[in-house]
Structure 1
Amino acid sequence: MPHFFRLALLSLLTLWLSGCNPFAGKQEVVRQTFYVFGTAVHIEIVNTPKDKAMSAINAIEVDFNHFNREWHAWEKGGLLSKVNDAIAQHQSIVVPASVKAFIVKSQRLSKESDYLFDPGIGNLLKLWGFESEDWHGPPPSQQAINHWLKTRPSIADIRFDGNKLSSTNSEVKLDFGGNAKGLALDRAINTLKSEGIENAIVNIGGDMRIIGTKDGHAWKIGVQDPKAPSNVIGMVKLSGDESIVTSGSYERFFKWKGKTYSHILDPNTGYPAEHFLSVTVIDKDATTADSASTALMVAGPKRWQKVAKQMGITKAYLVDDKGHEIITDAMKPYLTLLPSHKTP
């Protein structure tokens, strides 16, 4: 199935599970879809006058498009591209306070993850060909990976003097594909809250943050089967203010000589993480959830509990490469597996 169509299908499945039936419900519902970050963005707002809801949605769309231009690691002209150029040229660059705050937060999250989540590995992603939408192999040579590992660039190498950014390692290339959607979700919800909107869901390609309720009931969100991504195997109920993010080896990958290579890379080995098929995380902060889902994918069965504790994650659903499932105690009240789904 083409990449774009699969993402759009997931989003539609998720909205269907949210109870978005135009002929049902007592509250006024406003829905809008637009495309950014290479995927479909769905926003649904309930119990809010249409003009007020559309004004907020339009503001989010403008912000997302600006955000995508500025934070895209591989397109020239944006802020992140300029930062990466400065780092490569051993130069410093002044950045806005909001940019510094996100980078500092990402540094903290990376440290808490033991740097299994690390936005400083952009050049490793480039080696594997995952900087573009046309990923097809072949995998990089062991020599190229060894060269990257020798320099081991990391977001930890970024320094600030006030708002002036520099790096102690010119091989650092920042790529926030691992948590930028989380930041976008947090920004969107902040916009909605600032407009006095209390009940809504923002969905970026299957990653979501919700506030309030849907018709007084929890929002219902579908969970993909990582072995058959077009299928839903469970349902999560969220209300209040929560985010849910999934990282999966099925999202971006290529096959080469019979072996599958995922875009989720282990900075310690230079190779794709292989132990988990998917990790779903719930947290009030979408940036944290996005970062943690990637980190736990890399951590694997032996290290995920330690990393989750360090990152403050208690609600997680993990599926390993043999199809075995792990559901944390804190996650169990939120997740219901469908009757047709059998746990191995």
Structure 2
Amino acid sequence: MRFIAQLALLSGLLLLLGCSPSTPQPIKHQILVFGTEVNLSLFPENPQQVQEAQLAIKAIEAEFYQFHQDWHAWDKGGILSKINQAIAAQQPIEVADSVKNFVLKSQTLAKESGYLFDPGIGSLIKLWGFHGENWQGPPPSKSALQDWLAQHPSIADVSFVGNQLQCRNPKVSLDFGGNAKGLALDLAINTLKQNGIQNAIVDIGGDMRIIGSKHGQPFHIGIQNPQAPEQAIASLDLQGDESVVTSGTYQRFFEWQGQRFSHILDPRTAQPASVFASVTVIHPDATRADAAATALMIAGKDWQTVALNMGISQVFIIDTQGNFFFTPQMRQRIKLL
């Protein structure tokens, strides 16, 4: 949702530790896309990998700009806009294999979550005023929300005949803000691997996926305090191949008559999620982690069941009262600050 999630790199993340003089320096590159900062940090092990890293960065930058155009929830011209226009007109539309595969994977994740994560609710997100850069209210009327609930649009309404996407509900409007950044992370890591890069971190607005290590040392990251986002409330060490994604009510919201309304919306009630302030998920698959963080934000007291159904074993939650909740696997590795 998300587009989502905020983790902060702690100071010293990109410092070279314990490297020999012959080890190349880290290669860092920043891209402004997806409405946020994207930071690539690559750790080549030899001079040949330096050239491979530079080629990979160029490929990822081009890929991300195209991805942003294709999957933007409200800008016109991309494939998502064309799909939504076809759905509204009740016309089938031919899509590429990559598009079909992402929609099918999103359907699977939605079903596993009990449709708490549901990319079919784009019209609800628009109704709440989050299809734009200025979020200021007022909230939608009760009658408007009741009308939306009666229509019950969902990604479950989408189906395929070959590569033709069709939808039985014209009120469906797809919005992949809940897992598109996760997909972008996965695509970037795949590009790095294809170019021979074994050690790197890709950070999209605080959501990250890492491969390898930082010259033999783990990547040390901080998890934001939802009450004071400029501060870290916990830290994690990552290495191997892991993604870490956070969804939180403090990222996109507006206040109206003293009440805060978040962009993370519960399809069951058409209301913003209000029990948890942030959910952090670790999983090798960033697309899955992103969707799960969104679903768990909405799940409330049922979060453990939803995590189990989605194959998520590492979760850290902070509720609106500042209480912490962990899965056992996450509790073993997280460090509270």
Corresponding letter in the other structure for 1:41: V
SS of residue matched to 2:203:
strand
Aligned partners of 1:84, 1:321: CA distance in 2, in Å?
Answer: 35
SS of residue matched to 2:272:
coil
Hey, what does 2:232 align to over in structure 1?
A: 232
SS of residue matched to 1:135:
coil
User: How do 1:128-147 residues align onto structure 2 when only pairs under 5 Å count?
Assistant: 128-147=128-147
Deviation at 1:332, TM superposition (A): 2.1
Deviation at 1:333, TM superposition (A): 2.9
Hey, what does 1:281 align to over in structure 2?
A: 281
Aligned partners of 1:195, 1:66: CA distance in 2, in Å?
Answer: 19
Deviation at 1:15, TM superposition (A): 5.6
Aligned partners of 1:315, 1:333: CA distance in 2, in Å?
Answer: 10
Aligned partners of 2:176, 2:246: CA distance in 1, in Å?
Answer: 16
Hey, what does 2:40 align to over in structure 1?
A: 43
Q: 1:73 to 1:190 in 2, by over 3 A?
A: same
Q: 1:200 to 1:326 in 2, by over 3 A?
A: same
Hey, what does 1:14 align to over in structure 2?
A: 9
Higher relative contact order (CA 8 A, sep 6+): 2
Aligned partners of 1:320, 1:17: CA distance in 2, in Å?
Answer: 29
Corresponding letter in the other structure for 2:136: H
Identity of aligned residues (%): 54
Aligned partners of 1:164, 1:183: CA distance in 2, in Å?
Answer: 22
Aligned partners of 1:117, 1:318: CA distance in 2, in Å?
Answer: 17
Task: From 24, 27, 30, give the equivalent of 1:30.
Answer: 27
Hey, what does 1:205 align to over in structure 2?
A: 205
Aligned partners of 2:16, 2:141: CA distance in 1, in Å?
Answer: 53
SS of residue matched to 2:106:
helix
Q: 1:125 to 1:45 in 2, by over 3 A?
A: same
Deviations 1:57-104 (A, max 9, x none): 110010000001011121111110000000000100000011000000
Hey, what does 2:326 align to over in structure 1?
A: 327
Asked if 2 retains the 8 angstrom alpha-carbon contact of 1:17 and 1:222, the reply is no
Aligned partners of 1:34, 1:280: CA distance in 2, in Å?
Answer: 24
Aligned partners of 1:270, 1:25: CA distance in 2, in Å?
Answer: 53
Q: Which runs of 5+ in 2 are unaligned?
A: none
SS of residue matched to 1:170:
coil
SS of residue matched to 1:175:
coil
Aligned partners of 2:130, 2:18: CA distance in 1, in Å?
Answer: 42
SS of residue matched to 2:32:
strand
Aligned partners of 1:289, 1:304: CA distance in 2, in Å?
Answer: 14
Aligned length: 327
Asked if 2 retains the 8 angstrom alpha-carbon contact of 1:118 and 1:154, the reply is yes
Structure 1 stretch 263-272 or stretch 27-36: which is displaced more? 27-36
Deviation at 1:254, TM superposition (A): 0.3
Asked if 2 retains the 8 angstrom alpha-carbon contact of 1:273 and 1:298, the reply is yes
Deviation at 1:306, TM superposition (A): 0.8
Hey, what does 1:182 align to over in structure 2?
A: 182
Hey, what does 1:60 align to over in structure 2?
A: 60
User: How do 1:1-344 residues align onto structure 2 when only pairs under 5 Å count?
Assistant: 13-14=8-9, 16-18=11-13, 20-21=14-15, 25-26=19-20, 27-28=23-24, 29-48=26-45, 49-300=49-300, 302-338=301-337
Asked if 1 retains the 8 angstrom alpha-carbon contact of 2:17 and 2:215, the reply is no
Asked if 2 retains the 8 angstrom alpha-carbon contact of 1:238 and 1:334, the reply is no
Aligned partners of 1:195, 1:294: CA distance in 2, in Å?
Answer: 32
Deviations 1:146-166 (A, max 9, x none): 000000100000010000001
Asked if 1 retains the 8 angstrom alpha-carbon contact of 2:151 and 2:171, the reply is yes
Q: 1:37 to 1:24 in 2, by over 3 A?
A: farther
Q: Which runs of 5+ in 1 are unaligned?
A: 1-6, 339-344
SS of residue matched to 2:233:
strand
Q: 1:171 to 1:79 in 2, by over 3 A?
A: same
